[in-house]
Amino acid sequence: MNQRAYTLELLQLASAVPSGNRQAFMTAFQASEKNPVVLFGFNIFLGALGVDRFLVGDILAGVLKLLTLGGLGLWQLIDCFLIGSRARKKNLELARQLANSFSRTAQPGADESTATSN
């Protein structure tokens, strides 16, 4: 997944969240997102131990990478090209979950307006 498609989808998800919850959505997303550049650095220095895959949440791949010492370096080399895309996909999954949860919660003040009209 390229950076442009990633950014566009994040913007669409953020705009789908009600405006009252949008700041909370962005704060929660930024607190949990995985930075592809940081994961690339982990792959370079600790990729043979599978640290990059553990951080992305691919536990099985991380264990296999650890046991094979990064596929004797081959898997580590391949992940130099793939880990950024994997991090963006995980971030979009997180953003979708957060958008769904923030879209379901009531906006602040919505209950007050219905209570005063009764």
Q: What is the pLDDT of residues 20-62, one digit of tens each?
A: 999 999 999 999 999 999 999 999 999 999 999 999 999 999 9
The answer on pLDDT for 106 being more than 80 is: no
Once rounded to an integer, what is the mean pLDDT over residues 4-32? 93
Tell me what pLDDT residue 115 has.
45
- For residues 25 and 105, the answer to whether their CB atoms sit within 8 Å is no
pTM, two decimals, is 0.80
In the chain, where the domains are located: 3-103
Question: How far is it, in rounded angstroms, from Cα 38 to Cα 90?
Answer: 14
Mean of the per-residue pLDDT values for the chain? 88
Question: How far is it, in rounded angstroms, from Cα 85 to Cα 70?
Answer: 18
- In 1-118, alpha helices (H): 3-16, 22-32, 36-46, 51-56, 59-67, 69-72, 74-104, 110-117
Tell me what pLDDT residue 49 has.
94
Give residues with Cβ within 8 angstroms of 116, minimum separation 6.
none
